Amino acid sequence: MLKVAKFGGSSLAGAEQFKKVKAIVEADPARMCVVVSAAGKRYKKDNKITDLLYLTHAHINYGVSYEDIFSMIEERYYGIRDELGLKCDLESEFQKLRGELNQDISVDYLVSRGEYLTAKLMSEYLGYAFLDAADCVVFSYDGQIDYEKTYANIAARAEMAPRFVMPGFYGALPNGRIKVMTRGGSDITGAIVANALDADIYENWTDVSGILMADPKVVENPKPIKYITYQELRELSYMGASVLHEESILPVKEKNIPLNIRNTNRPQDAGTMILETIDEKLVQNKRLITGIAGRRSFTVLTIYKKHISTDTSIIRETLEMLETCKVEVEHITLGVDSFNVVMPTAQVQDRIYDIISDIKRKLKPDRIKMDDNIALIASVGRRMVSVPGSSAKLFGALGAQNINIRMIAQGSEEISIIVGVHNKDFERTIRTLYDGFMNKEGGNEA
């Protein structure tokens, strides 16, 4: 059994968090490979080391003193080392780095030191080998990760050092220059290590006990989801639930490696298990809906033209016009004599009247209607495909609360039902769906 455990910034923010990480790793000998982010926030108003490093670089660029910021970074690392009684020679590390700061240091290299130093400390603390991501994670010159080379490097090195700590978030170009991923990229590194070593599980340790069934800013104390498929997660993330770095899913999904989101501060919680396919025998509560997510402020254009369903050229031409204006189309629904296009208001608000007059002039529709202030709310659940009456139940719950549904769409593979409501009904709709489908169906299992 081999587990890859990735710890996010909040799990590494200070010595106390390091102690929790050690206890977690030591509790299970299968946790052989550890991937770390840079130290994050200890409390709400604290700074993430990565942000401070970016700020240091900006100060260098503008020729302003970076001393105060850089010493905050040094103090954080010295504090962790000294409190844990470690020996890591941070003095030399910082001396070297300070020398480089005055010599045109690249932003990627500087920022990657957050993960690098966190991993150095953690490897000593756990007694695991330190495996530098610069020697394993390969970027090609087009900026993309070369997965095949990276997998081979990690597999080869893990043979020599099966228990290791690797810094997340960065790798190196073929010429050895450090390159960082997009923010939150340590999730990707963890997934890559899991793929390279055919891990039995990829654990992603953070500060929440898994993915919640709804946004806690809208629903009080939403329950965590126990099991979710990658596809369900994708639908939820697309509709606004942010959990994992999108790209981090691919390397584990490809090999059907379960991804478990866990809470470093509550290791007793099982967290959320994300799988390609779920053995429903494992799931106690066969809830119809796995999670709810939504986004506000969409604009809906309804374009009327007789017999649109037999002559669809006007749809193609409208989409082409929107594409030229670089407007994202979220949904299209088609009726006999009309169709709807749903777009984010922020993208069209300054030019919607130009777009409408262009459509009128070029495509000569019978009529155009515009609605804005529309919120889209997705109820996502893999079981809905096979349960008759799912949508009736959902619409019934909203009807009983007098919530006016302005549009309906179904997501891919019938695993989500999306309703459009007025922005002002956004929170009420989510709460109604949550109360109707999550609370009443009871239990803690998803």
User: Which residues lie near ligand ASP (CB under 6 A)?
Assistant: 8-9, 37-38, 48, 50, 114, 168-169, 183-187
In the bound state with ligand ASP, the residue whose beta carbon lies nearer, of 108 and 330, is: 108
Nearest distance from residue 363's CB to ligand ASP, in Å?
Answer: 45
Q: How many CB atoms lie within 10 A of CB 31?
A: 22
In the bound state with ligand ASP, the residue whose beta carbon lies nearer, of 133 and 288, is: 133
How are beta strands 416-422 and 407-410 bridged, if at all? antiparallel
In the bound state with ligand ASP, the residue whose beta carbon lies nearer, of 9 and 210, is: 9
In the bound state with ligand ASP, the residue whose beta carbon lies nearer, of 167 and 381, is: 167
Nearest distance from residue 118's CB to ligand ASP, in Å?
Answer: 9
Number of H-type helices and E-type strands within the chain: 14, 16
- Say how far apart CA 217 and CA 14 lie, in whole Å: 27
In the bound state with ligand ASP, the residue whose beta carbon lies nearer, of 51 and 358, is: 51
In the bound state with ligand ASP, the residue whose beta carbon lies nearer, of 56 and 186, is: 186
Q: Give 257's Cβ-side CA count (13 Å radius).
A: 29
Nearest distance from residue 37's CB to ligand ASP, in Å?
Answer: 3
DSSP line for 342-358 = EEEHHHHTTTHHHHHHH
Q: Which amino acid is at 119?
A: A
Structure tokens at 89: 């020679």
Closest CA to 410 of 442, 384, 371, 373: 384
Helix (H, G, I), strand (E, B) or coil at 197: coil
Nearest distance from residue 188's CB to ligand ASP, in Å?
Answer: 8
- Say how far apart CA 327 and CA 346 lie, in whole Å: 10
Nearest distance from residue 169's CB to ligand ASP, in Å?
Answer: 4
- Say how far apart CA 176 and CA 193 lie, in whole Å: 20
In the bound state with ligand ASP, the residue whose beta carbon lies nearer, of 131 and 415, is: 131
Nearest distance from residue 185's CB to ligand ASP, in Å?
Answer: 5
Nearest distance from residue 7's CB to ligand ASP, in Å?
Answer: 10
- The residues near 370 (Cβ < 8 Å, ≥ 6 apart) are 299, 300, 301, 302, 352, 356
Q: Are 121 and 74 in contact (CB under 8 A)?
A: no
Helix (H, G, I), strand (E, B) or coil at 47: coil
In the bound state with ligand ASP, the residue whose beta carbon lies nearer, of 10 and 123, is: 10
Dump strand ranges (E) for 99-142: 129-130
In the bound state with ligand ASP, the residue whose beta carbon lies nearer, of 184 and 222, is: 184
- Say how far apart CA 228 and CA 266 lie, in whole Å: 20
Nearest distance from residue 53's CB to ligand ASP, in Å?
Answer: 9
Q: How many CB atoms lie within 10 A of CB 418?
A: 20
Dump strand ranges (E) for 95-161: 129-130
